[in-house]
């Protein structure tokens, strides 16, 4: 939810944000008009209700039957007008609320443009391998996974349909190693680890901003009126709904470990091979509640932790500043880390971290108390590990014979295993 007072006082800032996102600029003026209508109708309602109270008191003070009858008639008329004014005020408030919930977060520093207008901030990690100089053509992750008998998409499709899979043996252990390494990294830096619900109410899902333009990506269970989460960010954002937090000693930081579900409704024909874009996966997600003035610094902190994980597993990657038009509704700015995918000669997103400023907290009524007043906190999130990392790990660490070297940083989590070979 946006700050309506700030929008009234600084409308051009909001128009600029909409322009940068490629969104509806006129929405700003519709919200301003709706807010004016709400305040006007509310003032009318309150004025009539105050008059009604005065007239109601005059009934008991009437000195004659005639005066009492006149006062009663006036009170009855005012009661009708109050009911009408209240209905009009409630409708104006509902209209404003609907329009305000359509407004995406105001960007803070994100480059303008769409999906292809990101800015590359830097390249990190080892140089991508030159497989030609090593004398062999790299195999993609699915070919490697099937050859090693650690990924099975055919039986996944047989059991559940397309974009489902089984991880087997060292494949399952590799996913668990990534998640456990992320858990260790987060707890080392003061995050409280949590297993989170993967079903949430419409209020929580909507409060986090996920029921906007991309609502069709979310699984919905109508019989229960619950949504399956595509990230534990949703459950972690909802954790402190309607609460006043004490941030005097610093931010509240959590690491959510959960299975995630995405319909991938808009992904027809995209990454249909293997486990890059699937309906179910596991993810370790950082989440922080901070004071608004500390949000930018916290954003850099989450990005640094993501990069520490990528260095741990030795992947070549780049960091991009995501363009405004490619941000989620709740994000004011987002940094992605993209690992090199040699068989597709491209960079593939493996982490993202978003600064949602006070947008989610306003919707979910999460505040802090300072100087005797309450105000919304800021929320941030960031991926620390997910199933998709297996794709980049297999492809970047393969050998000519189809085996895969386990990154040194993950070996303690793999029982000391150094090379993944076909199971006997």
180 neighbors 312 (Cβ within 8 angstroms) = no
Known binding residue 419? Answer is no
Q: What is the CATH number of domain 4-102?
A: 1.10.287.40
Residue 383 marked ligand-binding: yes
Residue 232 assigned ligand-binding role:
yes
Structural tokens at position 75 = 């009170």
Q: Which residues of 138-176 are buried (b: 16+ CB within 10 A; e: fewer)?
A: bbbbbbbbbbbebbbbeebeeeeeebbbebbebbebbbe
Listed residue (196, 299, 295, 274) closest to 238, CA to CA: 196
In which order are the strands placed within the sheet that holds 367-370? 244-245, 367-370, 373-376
Asked whether residue 82 is marked as a ligand-binding residue, the answer is no
Tens digit of each residue's pLDDT (9 = 90 or more) over 85-142? 999 999 999 999 999 989 999 999 999 999 999 999 999 999 999 999 999 999 999 9
Tens digits of residue pLDDT in 222-268? 999 999 999 999 999 999 999 999 999 999 999 999 999 999 866 66
Q: Report the DSSP pairing between strands 252-261 and 192-195.
A: parallel
- Taking alpha carbons only, the member of 29, 13, 31, 30 closest to residue 21 is 13
What is the pTM assigned to this prediction? 0.91
The length of the chain, given as a count of residues: 424
Does 424 score more than 80 pLDDT? Answer: no
Average of per-residue pLDDT values in the chain? 93
**Is 46 annotated in some ligand binding site?**
no
The pLDDT of residue 61 is above 80: no
What gap in Å lies between CA 287 and CA 365, rounded to an integer? 17
DSSP tag of 279: S
Share of the chain above pLDDT 90, in %: 84
For 89, residues 6+ apart whose C-beta sits below 8 A from its C-beta are 38, 41, 42, 44, 45
- The verdict on domain 119-420 having CATH code 3.30.930.10 is yes
In which band, very low, low, confident or very high, does the pLDDT at 351 lie, cut at 50, 70 and 90?
A: very high
CB 103 within 8 A of CB 17: no
**Alpha helix (H) ranges present in 251-396?**
295-312, 359-364, 389-396
Query: Alpha-carbon dihedral of residues 327, 332, 337, 343, nearest 10 degrees?
Result: 10
Vertex 182 angle, CA 105 and 421, to 5°: 125
Q: Rounded to whole angstroms, how far apart are CA atoms 254 and 256?
A: 6
Domain ranges of the chain: 4-102, 119-420
Residue 69 confidence (pLDDT) above 80: no
Nearest to 342 by CA among 138, 179, 203, 145: 138
- Report d(CA 149, CA 169) in Å as an integer: 8
What stretches of 22-122 show up as alpha helix (H) in DSSP?
27-61, 65-102
Taking the alpha carbons of 95, 235, 293, 106 in that order, is the dihedral positive or negative? negative
Active site residues: 262, 277, 349, 352, 388
Q: What are phi and psi of 131, to 5 degrees?
A: -65, -30
Beta pairing partners, 226: 221
Distance in angstroms (rounded) separating the CA atoms of residues 262 and 230:
5
Residue 308, pLDDT above cutoff 70: yes
Residue 45: CB atoms within 10 Å: 21
Fold identical between 4-102 and 119-420?
Answer: no
Asked if pLDDT for residue 17 goes beyond 90, the answer is: yes
- Lookup result for tokens 């405004």: 324
Q: Which of 48-57, 184-193, 214-223 has the lowest mean pLDDT?
A: 48-57
Answer yes or no: is 280 a known binding residue: yes
106 is in an annotated binding site: no
b/e code 85-110 from CB counts within 10 Å (16+ = b):
bbebbeebbebbeebbbebbbbbeeb
14 contact partners, CB below 8 Å, separation of at least 6: 2, 7, 28, 103, 106
pLDDT value at 62 more than 70: no
What is the pLDDT, as a whole number, of residue 199? 97
Q: What is the pLDDT of residues 143-171, one digit of tens each?
A: 999 999 999 999 999 999 999 999 999 99
């Amino acid at each position: 939810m946006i700050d309506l007072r700030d929008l009234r006082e600084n409308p051009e800032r909001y128009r600029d944000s909409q322009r940068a996102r490629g969104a509806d600029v006129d929405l700003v003026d519709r919200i301003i008009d709706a807010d004016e209508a709400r305040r006007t109708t509310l003032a009318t309602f309150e004025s009539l209700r105050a008059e009604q109270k005065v007239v109601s008191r005059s009934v008991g003070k009437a000195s004659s039957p005639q005066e009492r009858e006149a006062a009663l008639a006036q009170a009855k008329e005012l009661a009708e007008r109050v009911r009408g004014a209240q209905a009009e005020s409630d409708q104006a408030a509902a209209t404003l609320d609907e329009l305000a919930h359509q407004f995406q977060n105001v960007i803070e520093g994100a480059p303008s443009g769409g999906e292809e207008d990101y800015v590359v901030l830097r390249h990190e990690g080892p140089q991508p391998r030159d497989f030609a100089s090593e004398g062999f053509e790299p195999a993609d992750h699915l070919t490697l996974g099937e050859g090693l008998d650690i990924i099975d998409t055919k039986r996944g499709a047989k059991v559940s349909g397309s974009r489902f899979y089984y991880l087997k043996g060292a494949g399952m252990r590799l996913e668990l190693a990534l998640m456990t390494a992320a858990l260790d990294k987060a707890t080392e830096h003061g995050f409280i680890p949590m297993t989170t619900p993967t079903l949430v109410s419409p209020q929580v899902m909507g409060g986090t901003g996920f029921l906007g333009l991309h609502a069709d990506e979310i699984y919905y269970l109508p019989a229960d009126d619950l949504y399956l989460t595509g990230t534990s960010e949703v459950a972690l954002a909802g954790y402190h709904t309607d609460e006043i937090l004490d941030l005097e000693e610093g931010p509240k930081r959590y690491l959510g470990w959960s299975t995630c579900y995405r319909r991938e409704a808009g992904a027809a024909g995209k990454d249909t091979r293997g486990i890059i874009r699937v309906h179910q996966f596991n993810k370790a997600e950082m989440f922080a509640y901070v004071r608004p003035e500390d949000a930018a610094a916290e954003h850099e902190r989450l990005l640094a932790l993501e990069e520490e994980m990528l260095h741990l597993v030795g992947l070549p990657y780049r960091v991009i500043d995501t363009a405004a038009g490619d941000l989620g509704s709740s994000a004011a700015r987002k940094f992605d880390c993209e690992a090199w995918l040699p068989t597709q000669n491209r960079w593939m997103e493996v982490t993202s971290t978003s600064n949602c400023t006070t947008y989610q907290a306003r919707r979910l009524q999460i505040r802090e108390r300072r100087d005797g007043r309450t105000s919304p906190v800021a929320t941030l999130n960031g991926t620390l590990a997910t199933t998709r990392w297996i794709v980049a790990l297999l492809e970047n660490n393969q050998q000519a014979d189809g085996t895969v070297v386990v990154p040194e940083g993950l070996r303690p989590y793999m029982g000391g295993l150094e090379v993944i070979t076909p199971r006997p």
